[in-house]
């Protein structure tokens, strides 16, 4: 079962133009104390998540960010600092600001470094939740490069395989591979079966979740009530394989950057202000093969995959990133759907900050 089966009933949906949501998000962030330029960059990254189908990492998160600002868990006046930089590497300190701001800067720097060195790895520490990883992988593909993004979550919700203690986050991984006439190949996945955001969204809509998304740490039994997430464990993709992948990403995004990992991350808390870490790797494909030739080959393989034979009764084979591109085109033209429950939360923010309601 996928996220599409947990969409609210049409009667519970509001449709808002993307630019309106972007402006609203920028205004809310400014009202929380962020400088206008920083708020605009952050809002663009947030709404890009909505545009590309990562609804659980888009404006859905805005009330949580405001709450974190209220509790002083996020610094609205963050000053990003490059702690160390070499020909192909850099480390950025996010000054406990919005993660989107720090990772967007890290990605732009990685692209600049890769243009000169062919390959760049930029790490981030003292960051926060940065939204959908595919946003940053796609920044690389827009520049004709390969992008690989990883993050250590600010809250532990998985156990190491066979364990009952939450010592791992849902540590996401996103990979972007540029194409020519076809959309870029973008893989963006949590290392859990379902992201925490998807489960929170189901809870907001008052819906149950499928068995297999969460388990009870005391019994190992399936948990289908999303409201019980804080007392449950999220299950990793591919059993021990997903657990191992979450571990590796956490060590590279956390420990390598001087950010938090494992027991360093408090179990009680909001998940903000805990020294979250991320990394972005950018590769210039032109160092291996002419860019146009590579992109043409990606197009060819994407076409082969999309037109390959599907299982009986199954939907056509999907190439990762193609649905994402289609959703962005549709939502830019027709607006973004949000649930009535989310709209109510956002309009409460509008009332608080004296903004026009949605």
Distance, in Å, from the CA atom of 119 to the CA atom of 43, rounded to the nearest integer, reads 28
Domain layout of the chain by residue ranges: 1-70+335-358, 78-191+240-334, 193-235
| pLDDT for 205 | 83
pLDDT beyond 50 at 6: no
CB 48 within 8 A of CB 133: no
User: If you average pLDDT over every residue of the chain, what do you get?
Assistant: 95
Q: Would you tell me how many other CB atoms lie within 10 Å of the CB of residue 116?
A: 10
pLDDT beyond 80 at 81: yes
Specify the 3-state DSSP secondary structure of 335: coil
Percent of the chain clearing pLDDT 70 (strictly above): 97
Mean pLDDT across 276-281: 98
Distance, in Å, from the CA atom of 218 to the CA atom of 335, rounded to the nearest integer, reads 44
pLDDT beyond 90 at 7: no
Q: Would you state the CATH architecture of domain 78-191+240-334?
A: 2-Layer Sandwich (3.30)
Specify the 3-state DSSP secondary structure of 271: coil
Q: Does domain 1-70+335-358 have CATH number 3.20.20.370?
A: no
Distance, in Å, from the CA atom of 238 to the CA atom of 305, rounded to the nearest integer, reads 23
pLDDT beyond 60 at 129: yes
| pLDDT for 248 | 98
pLDDT digits (tens, 9 = 90+) for 57-79: 999 999 999 999 999 999 999 99
Tokens standing for 129?
């939740």
| CATH (residue range 193-235) | 3.30.60.50
pLDDT beyond 60 at 209: yes
CB 322 within 8 A of CB 177: no
pLDDT beyond 60 at 11: no
Distance, in Å, from the CA atom of 302 to the CA atom of 324, rounded to the nearest integer, reads 14
Mean pLDDT across 218-227: 94
Distance, in Å, from the CA atom of 111 to the CA atom of 89, rounded to the nearest integer, reads 11
Vertex 227 angle, CA 222 and 233, to 5°: 45
pLDDT beyond 70 at 178: yes
pLDDT beyond 70 at 113: yes
| pLDDT for 162 | 93
Confidence of residue 217 (pLDDT cuts 50, 70, 90): very high
Confidence of residue 2 (pLDDT cuts 50, 70, 90): very low
Distance, in Å, from the CA atom of 83 to the CA atom of 244, rounded to the nearest integer, reads 29
| pLDDT for 5 | 42
Sign of CA dihedral 58, 63, 64, 66: positive
Confidence of residue 201 (pLDDT cuts 50, 70, 90): confident
Cα 122 → chain centroid: 17
Distance, in Å, from the CA atom of 294 to the CA atom of 291, rounded to the nearest integer, reads 5
Distance, in Å, from the CA atom of 139 to the CA atom of 158, rounded to the nearest integer, reads 29
Going edge to edge, which strands form the sheet with 119-127? 81-85, 89-93, 119-127, 276-284, 145-152, 173-177, 185-189
Q: Would you tell me how many other CB atoms lie within 10 Å of the CB of residue 328?
A: 18
Distance, in Å, from the CA atom of 8 to the CA atom of 17, rounded to the nearest integer, reads 18
User: What DSSP assignment string belongs to 272-290?
Assistant: -SS-EEEEEEEEEGGGTS-
Q: Do 78-191+240-334 and 193-235 share a fold?
A: no
Confidence of residue 94 (pLDDT cuts 50, 70, 90): very high
Distance, in Å, from the CA atom of 149 to the CA atom of 278, rounded to the nearest integer, reads 7
Specify the 3-state DSSP secondary structure of 93: strand
pLDDT beyond 60 at 1: no
Q: Would you tell me how many other CB atoms lie within 10 Å of the CB of residue 308?
A: 10
Tokens standing for 194?
């379902």
Tokens standing for 307?
């037109």
Mean pLDDT across 281-296: 98
Q: Is 220 left (phi over 0), alpha (psi -120 to 50) or beta?
A: left
């Amino acid at each position: 079962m996928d996220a599409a089966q947990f969409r609210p009933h049409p009667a519970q949906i509001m449709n808002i133009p993307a630019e309106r949501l972007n402006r609203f998000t920028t205004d809310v962030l400014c009202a929380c104390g962020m400088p206008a330029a920083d708020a605009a960059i952050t809002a663009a990254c947030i709404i890009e998540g909505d545009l590309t189908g990562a609804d659980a990492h888009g404006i859905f998160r805005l009330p949580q960010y405001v709450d974190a600002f209220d509790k002083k868990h996020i610094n609205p006046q963050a000053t990003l600092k490059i702690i160390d930089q070499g020909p192909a590497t850099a480390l950025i300190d996010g000054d406990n600001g919005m993660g989107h701001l720090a990772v967007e800067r890290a990605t732009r720097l990685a692209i600049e470094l890769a243009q000169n060195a062919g390959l760049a790895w930029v790490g981030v520490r003292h960051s926060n939740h940065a939204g959908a990883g595919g946003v940053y992988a796609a920044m690389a593909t827009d520049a004709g490069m390969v992008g690989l993004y990883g993050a250590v979550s600010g809250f532990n919700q998985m156990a190491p395989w066979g364990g009952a203690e939450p010592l791992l986050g849902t540590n996401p991984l996103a990979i972007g591979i540029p194409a020519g006439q076809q959309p870029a190949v973008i893989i963006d996945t949590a290392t859990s079966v379902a992201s925490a955001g998807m489960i929170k969204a189901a809870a907001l809509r008052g819906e149950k979740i499928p068995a297999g998304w969460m388990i009870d740490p005391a019994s190992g039994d399936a948990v289908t009530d999303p409201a019980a997430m804080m007392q449950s464990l999220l299950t990793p993709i591919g059993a021990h394989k997903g657990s191992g992948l979450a571990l590796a990403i956490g060590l590279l995004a956390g420990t390598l950057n001087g950010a938090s990992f494992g027991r360093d991350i408090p179990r009680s808390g909001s998940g903000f202000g805990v020294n979250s870490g991320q990394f972005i790797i950018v590769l210039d494909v032109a160092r291996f093969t002419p860019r146009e030739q590579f992109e043409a080959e990606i197009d060819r393989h994407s076409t082969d995959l999309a037109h390959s034979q599907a299982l009986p009764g199954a939907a056509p084979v999907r190439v990762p990133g193609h649905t994402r591109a289609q959703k962005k085109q549709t939502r830019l033209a027709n607006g973004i759907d949000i649930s009535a429950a989310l709209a109510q939360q956002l309009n409460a923010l509008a009332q608080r900050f004296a903004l026009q309601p949605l």
